[in-house]
Structure 1
Amino acid sequence: MQRVAFVVFPGFQIMSLAAMSVFEFANLEAPVPRYDVTVVSERGGAVADSAGLRVETKPFGRTAFDTVIVCGGVGAPPPLPRVVAYLRRAVRRSRRVVSICTGAFLLGEAGLLDGRRATTHWLLARELASRFPSIRLDDDRIYTIDGPIWTSAGMSAGLDVALALVEADHGAALARTVARKFVLYHRRAGGQSQFSALLDLEAKSDRIQTALVYARRNLKRALSVDELAAAANLSARQFSRAFRSETGQSPAKAVERLRVEAARLMLDETRHPVDVVARETGFADRERMRRAFVRAFGQPPQALRRHARETG
């Protein structure tokens, strides 16, 4: 059985501990329990999170853990010398040290990110890079793996990195089963963007949001303005005016963003040829997809796929 420690500190964010449920369900779904999970802190006892909820913990000790996971806080954690000292010891005794969200700052303080690739929540990524300039920052990844050090983005990414840990330990089938228990469509790939096009477009009305969701579910279709307007129950003229007013973009540009996002995910998570990816995500051909990728990322699809495989 693999021992896993979650490291908390006063003011940690409780959502970091949601990742514990991944190991709980892995134990329930496996033929025999796979993980023994403990929450630890500097002195043990009850530790209050950022909202005042108190969590019982065990004190740091000499117990060796297979995996040590550092929780994040609402912002960058304050200096915590004993936590930093514990992490410096842990990296010598553990197979993996993992951070969720701003827990990466504590790994940085401990010197565990020196010369390594790392990520954190996009809002604080530049601060992380400024405080620890030797880090090779991947500021738009869900999670990053560099040797024994795993770092993840915002709090919800803790579920993704925990599922990735389970997959690395016990295979994709168990990770998929656990993901289904959480009603997750899939485990997001580490290289997937921290941003969602649907969220970033910020539709303000239900009708425009309905049209965007319809588009996301039907990317293989041509998706004319008339079709999207019908999904929103508006005339084409009303729809185009309302869409641009709410999102600041034309329907065609927004649909391209949705297609690019879906295509990048397929490139990261499958081995489908670029022609197949282009067809499945509604691009007329690979050349149109290439041009859309260059506009969005400054690189063609093949270059992004190669980078994801080299760094994932």
Structure 2
Amino acid sequence: MVNHIFFLLSLTGFIICQTVSENWLIETSTDPVTEKESITLSKRSIGTQIFNYERKYGWLKIHSNGNKVDVYMNWGGLISVGKTYVKYKIDNYDFRGDSWTLTGEFDETIAPDPFLILLQMATSEKASLYTTPKGIPQVSYSFQLTGLKELLDEHPLFFKKYADWNARMKNNTAIDKPPGNYTDNIARYMQQEDIFRKLSRTIESHSQYTIRPIWFIDSLREKFNLQLPEDDILVYYNRWMKDIGILITRYDIRIQDRKSKTPKVVTYREMDSISLRGNDVLGYKLMINGEKLSTIIHANLTIKNALETFLDAMSALESKKALPG
């Protein structure tokens, strides 16, 4: 692999290093005031598109300052204002579509789930992205992804969440079942996130439900004896402040009540039957395997159905995972 390195001193005082590797442009910069480093990986599209009567290349960019990672797409011209719908297909993964936030001069869109896209792209050779700018036909760009996984592996301090996830997938003691094929683990993670996102859309406007990231996570770790990374702690339902609550994680549901000092933990794989029985006035009894575990009083029929669907889907996914072969 041949790398070409360039050093630049920008007008703003940032020290910038540009490296070209496998046709990826790698830019690292240091803020002269905070001395904070950041990195941007950029890739030009395979071909051009006619955009506003001109031939334009698209640019796929991955930016990190060590704390926050963004994946964004420069389309080469004005897209819209506010948010815009972007569809993308990455190798053999399912076709997906999301609302991406516009930035820059309304010519760039930022992905809502950058980590999920990184996981897919790291094990793929090609990605295609599509959007329909206001007033003109659909625009699409394709990108070769060769070399991306190596670049992410070379910069673990910038892509810490990705590095930590990889480490967990290689550590049989870090999850409830030894990991199998890496690509299968990514597919399973994507399914879990899709199931979680469907629940989130229903409960996000209700204050009794706190959705990841949970700002008071430290107190929950002590209360629920949590060793999981923050990304795996999905939803907390708080009934009466700190007295009792229900915690939903990537692997299980945990119920804390006044009668016990330790939470009751039920893994999704253990769930054979799931139901919420009751009504909006008196609340819904959470029944798992025929046992009443708690009562959810801040709910309506829509939330009740969403919770049941979530638990059923996670249980089915874990049961499928546990099947031989």
Pick the TM interval, shorter chain.
0.3 to 0.5
Larger Cα Rg: Structure 1 or Structure 2?
Answer: 2
More helix by share: 1
TM-score, normalised with respect to structure 2: 0.32
More strand by share: 2
